[in-house]
A = this chain, B = another copy of it.
Amino acid sequence: MPARQTPKPRASRRTPEARPYHHGDLRRVLIDAALQLAAEGGEVSVREAARRATVSPGAPFRHFPNRDALMAAVAEEAQRRFRAEIDLALAEAPTDPLARFRAFGLAYVRSAMRNPAHFEIISTGRYFVHSSSAELTRDNAELVALTERMLTEAAEQGLLRSADLKRIQIAGRALVYGFARMNLDGHFPRWGVEEGEIERMAEGVIDLFIAGIAKR
Protein backbone atom coordinates (compact mmCIF):
# COMPACT_ATOMS: atom_id res chain seq x y z
CA MET A 1 0.00 0.00 0.00
CA PRO A 2 1.46 3.35 -1.02
CA ALA A 3 1.69 6.03 1.61
CA ARG A 4 -1.10 8.50 1.23
CA GLN A 5 0.26 11.72 -0.15
CA THR A 6 -2.72 13.86 -0.95
CA PRO A 7 -5.50 12.97 1.44
CA LYS A 8 -8.81 13.30 -0.34
CA PRO A 9 -10.46 16.56 0.65
CA ARG A 10 -12.72 15.93 3.59
CA ALA A 11 -16.01 17.71 3.84
CA SER A 12 -15.97 20.68 6.16
CA ARG A 13 -16.65 19.77 9.76
CA ARG A 14 -19.78 21.84 9.78
CA THR A 15 -21.58 20.13 6.92
CA PRO A 16 -24.07 17.55 8.15
CA GLU A 17 -22.73 14.88 5.76
CA ALA A 18 -19.50 14.78 7.69
CA ARG A 19 -20.42 12.28 10.37
CA PRO A 20 -17.94 12.91 13.11
CA TYR A 21 -15.85 9.94 14.04
CA HIS A 22 -16.53 10.56 17.67
CA HIS A 23 -20.16 10.48 18.53
CA GLY A 24 -21.52 13.22 20.71
CA ASP A 25 -23.07 11.06 23.38
CA LEU A 26 -23.36 7.56 22.02
CA ARG A 27 -24.47 6.14 25.34
CA ARG A 28 -27.47 8.42 25.43
CA VAL A 29 -28.31 7.80 21.76
CA LEU A 30 -28.18 4.02 22.25
CA ILE A 31 -30.53 4.18 25.23
CA ASP A 32 -33.00 6.28 23.26
CA ALA A 33 -32.78 3.97 20.27
CA ALA A 34 -33.43 0.95 22.48
CA LEU A 35 -36.34 2.70 24.17
CA GLN A 36 -37.80 3.37 20.73
CA LEU A 37 -37.24 -0.18 19.53
CA ALA A 38 -39.10 -1.48 22.55
CA ALA A 39 -41.94 0.98 22.05
CA GLU A 40 -42.25 -0.17 18.44
CA GLY A 41 -42.96 -3.63 19.77
CA GLY A 42 -39.89 -5.40 18.46
CA GLU A 43 -37.11 -7.09 20.34
CA VAL A 44 -34.35 -4.81 21.47
CA SER A 45 -31.08 -5.85 19.87
CA VAL A 46 -27.75 -4.20 20.46
CA ARG A 47 -26.96 -4.39 16.77
CA GLU A 48 -30.17 -2.68 15.74
CA ALA A 49 -29.61 0.07 18.30
CA ALA A 50 -26.10 0.50 16.89
CA ARG A 51 -27.53 0.68 13.38
CA ARG A 52 -29.96 3.42 14.42
CA ALA A 53 -27.10 5.31 15.98
CA THR A 54 -25.14 4.74 12.75
CA VAL A 55 -22.21 3.15 14.50
CA SER A 56 -20.58 -0.24 14.06
CA PRO A 57 -21.84 -3.36 15.89
CA GLY A 58 -18.96 -3.26 18.33
CA ALA A 59 -19.30 0.38 19.32
CA PRO A 60 -21.99 -0.08 22.01
CA PHE A 61 -19.65 -2.32 23.97
CA ARG A 62 -17.42 0.65 24.64
CA HIS A 63 -20.32 2.05 26.72
CA PHE A 64 -22.02 -1.05 28.10
CA PRO A 65 -20.26 -4.25 29.14
CA ASN A 66 -23.07 -6.31 27.62
CA ARG A 67 -26.67 -6.29 26.46
CA ASP A 68 -28.05 -6.62 29.99
CA ALA A 69 -26.28 -3.42 31.03
CA LEU A 70 -27.92 -1.58 28.14
CA MET A 71 -31.30 -2.99 29.14
CA ALA A 72 -30.73 -1.90 32.73
CA ALA A 73 -29.96 1.63 31.55
CA VAL A 74 -33.12 1.54 29.45
CA ALA A 75 -35.11 0.35 32.46
CA GLU A 76 -33.71 3.17 34.58
CA GLU A 77 -34.82 5.75 32.06
CA ALA A 78 -38.27 4.14 31.71
CA GLN A 79 -38.59 3.99 35.48
CA ARG A 80 -37.84 7.70 35.78
CA ARG A 81 -40.68 8.46 33.39
CA PHE A 82 -43.14 6.21 35.20
CA ARG A 83 -42.11 7.69 38.48
CA ALA A 84 -42.70 11.22 37.18
CA GLU A 85 -46.23 10.29 36.10
CA ILE A 86 -47.02 8.76 39.47
CA ASP A 87 -45.60 11.69 41.41
CA LEU A 88 -47.71 14.01 39.30
CA ALA A 89 -50.87 12.05 40.03
CA LEU A 90 -50.09 12.01 43.75
CA ALA A 91 -49.49 15.76 43.77
CA GLU A 92 -53.05 16.22 42.53
CA ALA A 93 -54.54 13.64 44.90
CA PRO A 94 -56.43 14.57 48.08
CA THR A 95 -54.95 14.08 51.53
CA ASP A 96 -57.17 11.21 52.67
CA PRO A 97 -54.81 8.18 52.85
CA LEU A 98 -57.18 5.72 51.18
CA ALA A 99 -57.89 8.21 48.42
CA ARG A 100 -54.15 8.55 47.93
CA PHE A 101 -53.76 4.78 47.89
CA ARG A 102 -56.40 4.66 45.19
CA ALA A 103 -54.76 7.44 43.18
CA PHE A 104 -51.43 5.69 43.45
CA GLY A 105 -52.77 2.37 42.20
CA LEU A 106 -54.63 3.99 39.34
CA ALA A 107 -51.62 6.05 38.28
CA TYR A 108 -49.50 2.89 38.33
CA VAL A 109 -51.87 0.94 36.13
CA ARG A 110 -52.36 3.84 33.75
CA SER A 111 -48.65 4.42 33.33
CA ALA A 112 -48.12 0.75 32.63
CA MET A 113 -50.89 0.75 30.05
CA ARG A 114 -49.60 3.89 28.36
CA ASN A 115 -46.30 2.21 27.64
CA PRO A 116 -46.52 -1.56 27.99
CA ALA A 117 -43.14 -2.35 26.47
CA HIS A 118 -41.27 -0.08 28.86
CA PHE A 119 -43.33 -1.41 31.74
CA GLU A 120 -42.27 -4.90 30.83
CA ILE A 121 -38.58 -4.09 30.68
CA ILE A 122 -38.77 -2.70 34.20
CA SER A 123 -40.94 -5.47 35.60
CA THR A 124 -39.61 -8.66 34.11
CA GLY A 125 -36.52 -10.28 35.52
CA ARG A 126 -35.58 -11.64 32.11
CA TYR A 127 -33.58 -8.79 30.66
CA PHE A 128 -31.24 -7.99 33.51
CA VAL A 129 -30.77 -8.45 37.23
CA HIS A 130 -32.92 -5.78 38.84
CA SER A 131 -30.95 -5.65 42.07
CA SER A 132 -27.76 -4.83 40.15
CA SER A 133 -29.12 -1.36 39.46
CA ALA A 134 -28.77 0.86 42.52
CA GLU A 135 -31.13 3.40 41.00
CA LEU A 136 -33.92 0.90 40.39
CA THR A 137 -33.43 -0.61 43.81
CA ARG A 138 -33.60 2.76 45.56
CA ASP A 139 -36.58 3.90 43.53
CA ASN A 140 -38.44 0.71 44.28
CA ALA A 141 -37.74 0.98 47.99
CA GLU A 142 -39.21 4.48 47.92
CA LEU A 143 -42.42 3.24 46.38
CA VAL A 144 -42.67 0.42 48.90
CA ALA A 145 -42.18 2.90 51.73
CA LEU A 146 -44.72 5.25 50.20
CA THR A 147 -47.50 2.66 50.16
CA GLU A 148 -46.52 1.58 53.64
CA ARG A 149 -46.97 5.12 54.95
CA MET A 150 -50.35 5.50 53.31
CA LEU A 151 -51.59 2.31 54.90
CA THR A 152 -50.15 3.16 58.30
CA GLU A 153 -51.89 6.51 58.19
CA ALA A 154 -55.15 4.88 57.15
CA ALA A 155 -54.87 2.44 60.04
CA GLU A 156 -54.14 5.26 62.50
CA GLN A 157 -57.25 7.04 61.34
CA GLY A 158 -59.26 3.88 61.92
CA LEU A 159 -60.11 3.48 58.24
CA LEU A 160 -59.15 -0.18 57.89
CA ARG A 161 -60.91 -3.42 58.80
CA SER A 162 -57.72 -5.39 59.26
CA ALA A 163 -54.52 -4.58 61.10
CA ASP A 164 -52.37 -6.76 58.85
CA LEU A 165 -50.94 -3.94 56.79
CA LYS A 166 -48.35 -6.01 55.01
CA ARG A 167 -50.97 -8.36 53.72
CA ILE A 168 -53.01 -5.45 52.43
CA GLN A 169 -49.94 -3.95 50.82
CA ILE A 170 -48.96 -7.13 48.98
CA ALA A 171 -52.53 -7.82 47.92
CA GLY A 172 -52.86 -4.30 46.54
CA ARG A 173 -49.57 -4.65 44.73
CA ALA A 174 -50.51 -8.01 43.26
CA LEU A 175 -53.83 -6.54 42.12
CA VAL A 176 -52.40 -3.58 40.20
CA TYR A 177 -49.40 -5.52 38.90
CA GLY A 178 -51.66 -8.33 37.79
CA PHE A 179 -54.05 -5.95 36.09
CA ALA A 180 -51.24 -4.18 34.26
CA ARG A 181 -49.75 -7.49 33.18
CA MET A 182 -53.09 -8.91 32.03
CA ASN A 183 -53.17 -5.91 29.73
CA LEU A 184 -49.57 -6.35 28.60
CA ASP A 185 -49.91 -10.10 28.11
CA GLY A 186 -53.10 -9.74 26.11
CA HIS A 187 -55.43 -11.53 28.53
CA PHE A 188 -58.34 -9.14 28.50
CA PRO A 189 -59.99 -10.32 25.30
CA ARG A 190 -60.11 -13.86 26.73
CA TRP A 191 -61.69 -12.54 29.90
CA GLY A 192 -64.36 -10.65 28.08
CA VAL A 193 -62.96 -7.21 28.77
CA GLU A 194 -63.00 -5.11 25.63
CA GLU A 195 -60.42 -2.53 24.68
CA GLY A 196 -62.56 0.51 25.48
CA GLU A 197 -63.63 -1.01 28.77
CA ILE A 198 -60.20 -1.58 30.30
CA GLU A 199 -59.68 1.90 31.70
CA ARG A 200 -62.98 1.88 33.59
CA MET A 201 -62.35 -1.67 34.73
CA ALA A 202 -59.05 -0.54 36.25
CA GLU A 203 -60.93 1.98 38.35
CA GLY A 204 -63.55 -0.62 39.16
CA VAL A 205 -61.21 -3.26 40.50
CA ILE A 206 -59.25 -0.75 42.57
CA ASP A 207 -62.45 0.63 44.05
CA LEU A 208 -63.61 -2.89 44.80
CA PHE A 209 -60.35 -3.62 46.59
CA ILE A 210 -60.47 -0.43 48.63
CA ALA A 211 -64.09 -1.02 49.59
CA GLY A 212 -63.01 -4.47 50.73
CA ILE A 213 -60.27 -3.28 53.05
CA ALA A 214 -62.11 -0.21 54.35
CA LYS A 215 -64.03 -0.25 57.60
CA ARG A 216 -67.62 0.76 57.01
A176 proximal to B (CB < 8 A): yes
Checking B174, B182, B204, B213 against A167 with a beta-carbon cut-off of 8 angstroms, the contacting residue is: B204
Residue interface mask A180-203, B partner, CB < 8 A = 1: 011011110111110000000100
Residues on the B chain within 8 Å of A179, using CB: 170, 174, 178
In the complex the two chains form, what is the Cα distance from A208 to B123 in whole Å?
Answer: 25
Residues on the B chain within 8 Å of A175, using CB: 171, 174-175, 178
A57 proximal to B (CB < 8 A): no
A177 to B170, Cβ gap below 8 A?
no
A205 proximal to B (CB < 8 A): yes
Residues on the B chain within 8 Å of A205, using CB: 167, 170-171, 174
Q: Which residues of A come within 8 Å of B, CB atoms?
A: 123-125, 130-131, 137, 140-141, 144, 161-162, 164, 166-171, 173-179, 181-182, 184-187, 189-193, 201, 204-205, 208-209, 211-213
Task: Please list the 6 inter-chain residue pairs (A to B) with the smallest Cβ-Cβ separation, ordered nearest first.
Answer: A212-B212, A178-B178, A174-B178, A171-B205, A174-B179, A177-B178
